Amino acid sequence: MPYLFTSESVSEGHPDKVADQISDALLDNFLAFDPQSKVACETLVTTGLTVLSGEVRSNSYVDVQQVARDVINRIGYTKGEYMFDGNSCGVISTIHEQSQDINQGVDRGNPEEQGAGDQGMMFGYATKETENYMPLALDLSHKILMELAKLRRENNDIQYLRPDSKSQVTIEYSDDNVPQRIEAIVVSTQHDGFDNDDEKMLTKIKNDIINILIPRVKAQLKPELQKLFNDDIKYHINPTGKFVIGGPHGDAGLTGRKIIVDTYGGKGAHGGGAFSGKDPSKVDRSAAYATRHIAKNLVAAGVADEILVQVSYAIGVVEPMGIYVSTYGSANVGMTDGEIAKKVSEIFDMRPYAIETRLKLRNPMYSESAAYGHMGREPRTEKKTFHASNGDVFSQEVELFTWEKLDYVDKVKAAFGL
């Protein structure tokens, strides 16, 4: 019997994502001037206030208040009427030095013997469902909000948009797990007031989302995915009727509260650890990227149509506790999931230092991942420039989303005889 599956996304202006972006901007600034920085930054945003906290061990000095203000302004919170803007909000920092008890388990004389920065389990997932090997409902939810942000910045076709927004897509699947149609789309977007004419406001927003935004999203898709859009889709546009008060003034935001949006939209699994604000010695982040890298390369190589990879660690211990693989019965090789997992452990070195090196995770590459998902993004190289308060400048070509590269497909095919 067909079934429905739903995923959601939130925009860069959502308060939790504002917090994530500030935390990752702080991390990038520390890494730019000291790649060996140990960082675990948390951010709280609320009406007129940003609070920075966490632990840092670094040889660089970062003007954390200015970094936070720059991020808030870039997102689009630039007006006093939002009750939260980069130029006038208060910024309080309580960041202190990383615990020596943690540091002694991570840093070693031989870098290759670096221990895991924490215990826990991390998951990576990939599916043939989309070109970027991501679940379709989440991929569409992200695309809707990325296009909505473009419309806001263009300020041409739609001129009333504010930064905060959310989306949600429900897809009907067949018994053999193939997408059949889109059942429902939810979009809630913050907006300017409409002269107290709520009915006129809601009608225009609905029309603009359905007739301007959705066609722009469809145009990005392959023909077979465009066919999933139909006249029977249930649209819920700003279902509360009004969304003028939003952002950190509408709800407080905290780093790490959108971990399912950050990963696979509820498909596969999530170990529970957040990403933003953490340097790569924290395996919550680096090992989650590494398992995504493994899963994506395995699916792209044809090992299976859908794969979940789990790895687990003990704090301060070099080798992982174990690697688990589930192919959900979709394996294309004559091996059990346990045998596939053993082969994976032979191909991919999962020691923390090896992960950092393989994926180049000591570079300032994280701000771009802090909104619209850490997984499924396009790997690319960008020139990034950072300015230190002492006048130093860091400018370098940096690889982004290295865990999305299909650079192990040939090795995987050779190992599995494909």
Query: H or E stretch including 341?
Result: helix 337-347
With beta carbons less than 8 A apart as the criterion, state whether 24 and 277 touch.
yes
Q: Give the least confident one: 78-92, 95-109, 330-344.
A: 95-109
Tell me the range of 43-47, 113-117, 228-232 where mean pLDDT is highest: 43-47
Q: Which amino acid, one-letter code, is at 403?
A: W
Check: CB of residue 373 under 8 Å from CB of residue 397.
no
Residues 6+ apart with CB under 8 A from 100: none
Residue 116, both tokens: 């895991």
Catalytic residue list: 14, 16-17, 42, 55, 166, 243, 251-252, 257-258, 278, 282, 284
Beta strands in 58-138 (DSSP E): 90-93, 96-97, 120-127
**257 annotated ligand-binding residue:** yes
Residue ranges per structural domain of the chain? 3-10+137-247, 120-127+260-270+280-416
Domain 3-10+137-247 matches domain 120-127+260-270+280-416 at the CATH topology level: yes
**Mean pLDDT of the 282-295 span:** 97
Amino acid in the structure at residue 413: K
Q: How far apart are CA 42 and CA 56, in angstroms?
A: 11
Is residue 42 a known part of a binding site? yes
Nearest Cα residue to 61 out of 90, 41, 34: 34
Q: Residue 362, annotated ligand binder?
A: no
Over residues 311-322, the pLDDT tens digits come to 999 998 989 999
Bridging pattern class, strands 96-97 and 49-57: parallel
- Over residues 324-362, the pLDDT tens digits come to 999 999 999 999 999 999 999 999 999 999 999 999 999
- How many whole angstroms separate alpha carbon 119 and alpha carbon 52? 24
Q: What is the mean pLDDT of residues 399-406?
A: 98
Please tell me the total number of residues recorded for the chain in this structure. 418
Q: What is the pLDDT of residue 9?
A: 98
As a whole number, mean pLDDT of residues 70-84 equals 96
Report residue 201's pLDDT band, with 50, 70 and 90 as the boundaries: confident
- pLDDT of the residue at 99: 60
On whether 349 is known to bind a ligand per the annotation, the reply is: no
CATH of domain 120-127+260-270+280-416: 3.30.300.10
Residue 242 among known ligand-binding residues: yes
Chain center to CA of 199? 35
Reply yes or no on whether the pLDDT at 106 is more than 70: no
Helices within 269-319 (DSSP H only): 283-301
310 assigned binding-site residue:
no
pTM of the model: 0.95
Residue % of the chain over a pLDDT of 90 = 87
251 in a known ligand binding site: yes
Asked whether the predicted pLDDT for residue 121 surpasses 70, the reply is yes
What whole-number percentage of the chain has pLDDT above 70? 96
At residue 131 the predicted structure's pLDDT band, cuts being 50, 70 and 90, is very high
Cα 294 from Cα 320, distance rounded (Å): 15
Q: How far apart are CA 144 and CA 323, in angstroms?
A: 35
pLDDT tens digits for range 232-251: 999 999 998 889 999 999 99
Smallest Cα–Cα separation from 280: which of 180, 213, 206, 352? 352
**Dihedrals phi, psi of 308, to nearest 5 degrees:** -120, 130
**234 labelled binding-site residue:** no
pLDDT value of position 391: 83
pLDDT tens digits along 373-383: 999 999 999 99
Spatial contact of 200 and 149, defined as CB atoms under 8 Å apart = no
Q: Which fold has domain 3-10+137-247?
A: GMP Synthetase; Chain A, domain 3 (3.30.300)
Contact 175, 38 (CB under 8 A): no
